[in-house]
Chain A
């Protein structure tokens, strides 16, 4: 029972973290029609910035805030220097160009921070176990991730659906020329959206940093997960990304936790221990394949076009 609750929360936490990453990806794709493979690099930069700034300032929170600002600025600079020229190009061009950016960022990190990973230690007040149910404790930091990510999700939803900027963003997504003709500075709007996406990726990275080691290429595996999520959820749909992210986070975590035991009931011990790790890593890809076969546009396609 205890294990189930804990794994359930772990799944929720991982899912929410994935959502932050997927939200930025799907915003950028849905609005600017840009496939950004380098999104994972921004996640990595967020983690590196956080580890560095936390070490400089001696404060975890201050380091995290500075890192958030730094990834926002990095995203804006990246958009203005490189990404801007890719709008309206073929998706293949996006893949190639942003693949180049991945190479660049990985190497830049190796040059600046060296090949060894960094650690981002947690402050004492975030390491205590918190009682959530009678007799069940859960790490405070993981709870904090859940709370922060839920808050961001809510703000994002309200921001996109209820504010004037959000309205412009949505309008720009469906018809770029029209919104430009209405006298809106679409260039600036795009820059801001890309910056916002970068900040979201950075937030995911810096929050994940204390749990994993901060290392080169850390964004690549999780980027693929984020892509799986936006494809399952329907590209361009924030709501789809949210639900799919929770779903994928749960399946991945619960699969890793319980699949070995389940398999052991059916298969012999040796066969089960061979198949379980591969199968649990594959689960979400299987899920994606099934979803795409049944609904090629994803579960919640954004209702445009």
Chain B
């Protein structure tokens, strides 16, 4: 019981840190840390969306980066065509991601296990190649976004602090939504399907329909992360959708603790800070990062949240 409060304390501390970060950045004059954490918060949002289907639903999507790209390209392409309003860009980004998730989910959910991992991967690669072929929107080289989404004075995305808080608000909103979903009747059915699909089906739940809805919600959330990411980098390219990016997201989820509410945030913070920290020590940071991941898998079952919460295991 005592250990359980440790993971709660760490979570609370981390959340407080995230909220107070702009203050620290201003006081210390360290602008870089705000930029870094904006990126971390956005990718934490993407990881949380993946965790919804992976951790709670047992659906191992290896193509989640596709939604990052689709959300990003929705913003980039509209900006390119002269539609700068965020009130149009963001809904389009969400709708496009949802539509893609609906089609991909309906096809992928016919398979299971490793086949599911691989087919989601294949569909993401298809999106990657489509984006590479978009000559009008930069093709392989990607698309520069000259103006960030315009929310007509309501919030200014070019202001670092405001943009950071927008991203953080989106992250908290998504976490709240996931919490509501997981504890709803719908969420319980999806989690039941993870443990025993046959039994749930025998009770009379249309398994695939539940899983598909969950899949679409997750994809839409990740599309939101994509739209924010494009605004953060002022740039979107096919590389956002490359399969190793999906791997990164998966790593964040597993590292932090699959199936825990705040695990993906912990995972994203630790993974990206580690990357930043190690790359400052040595150019060859991945030489340490790689084996570290291996060790975490071997000895740290349940991720960081699992290690904090259940010290007796692993």
Instruction: List chain A positions with a Cβ less than 8 A from chain B.
Output: 29, 35, 37, 82, 85-86, 89, 91-93, 95-97, 99-108, 110-111, 220, 224, 227-228, 231, 235, 274-275, 277-279, 281-282, 285-286, 288-289, 292-293, 296-298
Contact = CB atoms under 8 A, between A and B. Distances in A.
B142 to A, nearest CB: 15
Contacts of A220: 243-244
> What is the size category of the interface that chain B forms with chain A?
35 or more
B133 interface: yes
A288 B115 CA distance: 11
Contact of A107 (B60, B287, B298): B287
Interface residues of A, dominant DSSP: helix
Given A99-B247, A277-B133, 8 more contacts: A91-B117, A95-B117, A100-B290, A224-B121, A235-B114, A281-B133, A296-B112, A296-B115
A293 B110 contact: yes
A97 B251 CA distance: 9
A100 B132 contact: no
A103 B244 CA distance: 10
B273 interface: no
A91 B290 contact: no
A275 to B, nearest CB: 7
B287 A228 contact: no
B292 A100 contact: yes
B115 A235 contact: yes
B111 A296 contact: yes
A285 B126 contact: yes
B254 A92 contact: yes
A110 B132 CA distance: 27
Given A95-B247, A95-B250, A107 B114 contact: no
Interface string B103-135: 000011011111101110111011001101111
Contact of A282 (B121, B129, B136): B129
A34 to B, nearest CB: 10
Contacts of A101: 290, 294
Contacts of A292: 107-108, 110-111, 115, 119
Contacts of B292: 100
Contacts of A93: 254, 297
Nearest to B242: A220
A104 B287 contact: yes
A297 B293 contact: no
Contacts of A106: 286
A92 B125 contact: no
